[in-house]
Amino acid sequence: MESTAAVLCHRTSPPASRGKEVAVAQRKPRKSSTPVVYDFAVAEELDLHGMAVDEAMVAAEQLFKRHKPGAIVRLVHGHSNAAPDSIRKSLHRMLATAWKRKVKRYRLDFQNPGATLVELSG
C-alpha cells in the first residue's frame, strides 16, 4: 500500500527503477473573483515597436524629460528578448545604468510583459 506522501508527490512520470505508476495530485488553477487593477495612473505610454534600438533609447529619454518626478510611464517594447540587442534588453540595461538617477524603479508590466513600467525620480 502506498503512503500518502507518495500519492501527493508531484512526479509526472513513474520512477524508472520500480516501473510503477505514481498518482499525481492535480490542482485546479485559482480563479480571481476580482480583476487586477492598477493602483496608480500611467502618465503616458510610448510604443517602441518598429524603432531601432538607438531610436528607442532617444525616444524614451525625451519621454522622461517631459514628465515630472513621480510620474509613471509605460514603454511598450514587445515580448522579444531572444536577440542580445533587443529593445527590451537595451532598455533595461539603460534604466539600470545610464538613467539610474532619472528612474526610481522599473519593472515589467504584470498585465503585459511586453511593456515596462517606469517610475521617474527627482
Distance between CA atoms of 71 and 55, rounded to whole angstroms? 22
pTM: 0.67
* 57 SS3 class: helix
In tens, the pLDDT along 33-54 reads: 555 455 678 999 999 999 999 9
Number of domain units in the chain: 1
Query: Which CATH number does the domain housing residue 76 bear?
Result: 3.30.1370.110
Contact 119, 68 (CB under 8 A): no
Give a yes or no: residue 75 inside a domain. Answer: yes
Give a yes or no: residue 96 inside a domain. Answer: yes
Give a yes or no: residue 103 inside a domain. Answer: yes
Phi, psi of 74 (to 5 degrees): -115, 125
Give a yes or no: residue 5 inside a domain. Answer: no
Q: How far is CA 75 from the centre of its chain?
A: 12
| Residues of the chain with confidence (pLDDT) below 50 | 1-15, 36
